[in-house]
């Protein structure tokens, strides 16, 4: 993925996460899949990892002193990567963001489990 495109995805993700205190990381991932359907899903995952590293800096104050949000952040990224792996195993080639969306639509939360214990 070109560096400029990676930066655009990272900015979108960071803005989404910090713009709404009630939004979950999964919400941000889903929004990214919709916003960048023709991107490689693994590139989007790397953007999330980069944003997660940046969010640990005090300037963002996203996960600072908030273990629940920190856990959600890293767990969501891990599950997203697992979804990408599942789609690639099913399709036999690198997954696009649009394919991850299709996968979520077809299989619901089978692979990408919600964090709540409701």
Complete DSSP assignment for 7-59: HHHHHHHHHHHHH-TT--HHHHHHHHHHH-TTSBHHHHHHHHHHHHHHHTSTT
Is 115 among the domain residues?
Answer: no
Top-confidence residue, 110 or 115 = 110
Tell me if 20 is assigned to some domain: yes
**b/e for 28-65, b at 16 or more Cβ within 10 A?**
bbbebbeebeebbbbbbbbbbebbbeebeeeeeebbee
The whole-model pTM stands at: 0.73
Q: What is the Cα–Cα distance from 22 to 6, expressed in whole angstroms?
A: 25
Q: With respect to residue 112, please indicate whether it lies within any of the assigned structural domains.
A: no
Confidence at residue 35, expressed as pLDDT on a 0 to 100 scale: 93
Res. 88: pLDDT tops 50: yes
pLDDT at 57 over 70: no
Asked, for residue 93, whether it belongs to a domain, the answer is: yes
What is the reported pLDDT for 37?
A: 92
Kindly state whether residue 82 falls inside one of the protein's structural domains. Answer: yes
Does 46 map to a domain? yes
- Kindly tell me the sign of the dihedral angle through the C-alpha atoms of 41, 43, 49, 51: negative
Overall domain count for the chain = 1
Residue 10 in domain = yes
Section 69-95 average pLDDT: 86
Domain assignment present for residue 118? The answer is no
Mean pLDDT of 25-29: 83
Domain that holds residue 103: 3-107
């Amino acid at each position: 993925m070109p560096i400029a495109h990676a930066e655009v995805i990272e900015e979108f993700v960071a803005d989404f996460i910090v713009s709404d205190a009630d939004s979950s990381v999964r919400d941000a991932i889903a929004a990214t899949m919709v916003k960048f359907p023709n991107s490689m899903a693994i590139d989007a995952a790397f953007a999330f990892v980069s944003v997660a590293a940046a969010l640990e800096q005090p300037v963002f104050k996203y996960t600072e002193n908030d273990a629940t949000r920190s856990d959600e952040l890293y767990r969501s990224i891990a599950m997203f990567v697992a979804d990408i792996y599942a789609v690639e195993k099913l399709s036999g080639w690198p997954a696009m963001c649009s394919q991850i969306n299709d996968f979520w639509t077809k299989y619901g939360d089978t692979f990408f489990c919600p964090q709540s214990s409701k």
